[in-house]
Chains A and B, each alone.
Chain A
Amino acid sequence: MEASPWDPEGVEVVLGPNGTPTDEACLAGLDLKALYKHLVAARCLDLRLGKMNVPAWASSAGEEAPIVLAGVLAEPSDWIYPGWRDSPGVVAVSAFEDVATMLVQSGQRPSSALRVMLPSDTLGMHLALAAGHAHAQKLDGRRGVTIALFGEGLTTTGIFHETVATAVQCDVPLVLVCKSQLWPDAAPAEAGLLGDTVSERARACGLWSRRVDGADVIAVYMALASALERARDGRGPGLVEAVVTQLHRDVPAHRDPIERMRRLLDHKGLWTQTFQDVVEADIRARLEKAFTRAVNAHEEARA
């Protein structure tokens, strides 16, 4: 299969466009079907939200790999600071109820069993908050890590660079997860910074970094797991840059991380149409139940 303009260069890849792994060892110990279900849940939630006319909402279809894996790989002592587009996907893993309640209540959100912080209203401020929270975890010495998610556009802001400088100086267990679009809408490639990638710029600031293909769930998994392990072991902050492709822009099927993951399952003999139908039906039923319950609770509270 020929590379398309949507395929990034200079990224780590495990799964080829057809879902064929370049290194079977990378799959050892992974529950591929469970991972796939998480991804499908995030996509179903994205589609559900798209029908709700939520103000200022934007689809994150195509960006699921880093978002969902942050939720999958976080341990109970970890915290996640998502951006607005990431918040539903992170909690989609196990808490549709939280997403539903948050959206129905228009902003205010109850405490969650998951350690997912509210998205910040101020552009990029969640990065600095996350660095501070990671500092608290370092002082506590309990191997907790804080993960912050954001898009490449944010890397042109002062708060991004201030956060990197502070995180490096204070040597905190912070993992920054950047979703880079190769061809962002209304902006030059790589946020217009003379061709340097986000991971290269982070490395120049003294930050450990990896750059992976965001359509390759396994590559993102490996890089993020490495970053979390480093931070947990006290080896300092890190940045994982996943080059993602937004699906609403009519991109080749292999740029869809869920489709590429499906091809892997198919390759391994783990995927059937029946499996797909059952997974989707279960997720949609849970989604509808969660939103119905949230709407009813909200209306009861108002009454």
Chain B
Amino acid sequence: MMVAEALAERLAELLRSDPRRVVLGEDVRDGGMLGLSRRIVADAALCDRALATPLVPASLIAHAAGLAIGGHPAIVLLHSSSALLEGMAALREAARIPWQSAGAHAMPLTIVAPTGPGFGLGSEQAAVHEAALASVPGLRVAVVSLPEQAVSMLDAAVDFTHDSEPVVLLLPRSIVLAERDEPLRHEPVTPVGVAQVVRDGSRVTVLAWGDTVLPALAAVRELGVDASVVDVRSLAPIDVDTIVNVARTSGRIVIAHSGGPRHGIGAELAALLADQVILHLDGPIVRITGAERPCAPGTESLATPSQQQIADAIERVATY
């Protein structure tokens, strides 16, 4: 089963569990570009809550925010995270409303969007916009890293029990179409804002998220080094406590992420660790990232660091 199929099933269950919940998007009545609303429109009891809108990202996001204010938790299914940049003004507005209304208006708005390379299309369809999104005040941003956690991360992204701010859930394209031999299990739900240590170790700490977590785990296995791997998962807010505690233990840090290095989440984490862990560091903080420039179709692999590049970085830091 593909991750996208598991998400489509779960989205239908989420609409069944809350009769006020709706999904929106340009093509959601046709199943959506990734097929994420396919199960919803196939169910006569749910299909009226798949709301097709014109392809107008700013208006679409604000429209969904209006639905959320009106008491209908809204899930927007976008064709690409680049649409979020086109709708940035609306995103900022939606994220501001819980604060601006002094808590009078929650914003149960979830936006699901594919990100990074994976479809082979290059250019914007391989671009990583996570840093721009994470810089929006009041917005929570999470990214799926492990295919088996995609469903539980969706559950976390639509849970507004304790937080009123909207959530962007990014789906790395290389993960969303990944085939799994077994049906995806429902993993325990970890709230947005919490990182996860997916491998324990004390010699080196690898901070990764999205489509670099699996290559990082493979690189550590291949090297046989005693390294911890942290799935950062939540890009806004960042789980400072978990990251600082793990980094302090090893004192040797590798940060791996897709997209270019400039002004990225990796730079933010490096600054955070320089600020809080400097006296525990035994070597430079090494960032290993994708290329800075856009990738042409067929060269998408440049957008993500390879397992070998991550392994080289770990070895360099481990032997510094």
Interface size on A, residues (CB 8 A): 33
Q: Digit string of B167-193 for contact with A (CB within 8 Å is 1, else 0)?
A: 000000000000000000000000000
A residues less than 8 Å from B52 (CB atoms): 169
Q: Give complex CA distance A132, B51 in Å.
A: 11
Per-residue 0/1 for A97-132: is the Cβ within 8 Å of any B Cβ (1 yes, 0 no)? 000000000011111000001101110010011111
* Contacting pair B100 A162 (CB below 8 A): no
Assembly CA distance A69 to B101 (angstroms): 24
Contact of A135 among B51, B90, B96, B101 (CB under 8 A): B51
Q: How far is the CB of A20 from chain B (nearest CB, A)?
A: 42
User: What chain A residues lie within 8 Å of B92 (beta carbons)?
Assistant: 122
Among A79, A111, A129, A131, the residue within 8 A (CB) of B93 is: A129
Interface 9-residue window, one of B69-77, B120-128, B229-237: B69-77
Candidates A111, A120, A132; contact of B63 at CB < 8 Å: A132
A111 to B104, CA, bound (A): 5
Contacts of B68 in A (CB 8 A): 132
Question: Is B70 in contact with A132, judged by CB distance below 8 angstroms?
Answer: yes
Given A107-B100, A159-B58, A162-B59, answer yes or no on A136-B72 (Cβ-Cβ < 8 Å). yes
Residue B33 lies at the interface, judged by CB distance under 8 Å to chain A = no
- Interface majority SS on A: helix, strand, loop or mixed? helix
Contacts of B74 in A (CB 8 A): 132
**Does A134 sit at the interface, judged by CB under 8 A?**
yes
Asked if A133 lies at the interface with its beta carbon under 8 angstroms from chain B, I say yes
CB distance from B105 to the nearest CB of A (A): 8
Question: Which residues of B lie under 8 Å from residue A170 when comparing CB positions?
Answer: 51, 53, 63
Q: Interface size (B, Cβ < 8 Å)?
A: 34
Judged by a CB distance under 8 angstroms, whether B279 is at the interface is: no
Nearest CB of B to A76, in Å: 15
For residue A122, which residues in chain B have a CB less than 8 angstroms away from its CB?
Answer: 89-90, 92-93
B53, A134: Cβ atoms under 8 Å?
no
Partner of A128, one of B51, B58, B72, B97: B58
B54 touches A169 (CB 8 A): yes
Docked CA distance A146–B70 (Å): 10
In contact, A166 and B93 (Cβ under 8 angstroms): no
Interchain CA distance A137-B96 in the complex, whole Å: 22
Task: Write the chain B residue with the least CB distance to A130.
Answer: B66
Interface residue B62 (Cβ < 8 Å from any Cβ of A): yes
Distance, CA A71 to CA B20, complexed state (A)? 28
Complex: A158 Cα to B71 Cα, angstroms? 27
Per the bound structure, the CA–CA distance linking A117 and B189 in Å amounts to: 34
Q: With CB as the reference atom, state the residue of chain A lying closest to B90.
A: A125
* Top 7 A-B pairs, shortest CB-CB distance: A132-B66, A136-B70, A128-B62, A162-B59, A111-B104, A132-B63, A133-B66
16 additional contacts (CB under 8 A) given A108-B99, A132-B65, A169-B52: A108-B100, A110-B102, A117-B69, A118-B101, A122-B90, A128-B66, A128-B90, A129-B93, A130-B66, A131-B62, A135-B63, A135-B72, A136-B71, A159-B59, A163-B59, A165-B59
14 residue pairs of the A-B complex, CB under 8 angstroms, read A107-B100, A118-B100, A120-B93, A121-B100, A129-B63, A129-B65, A131-B59, A132-B62, A132-B67, A132-B70, A134-B66, A134-B70, A136-B71, A169-B52
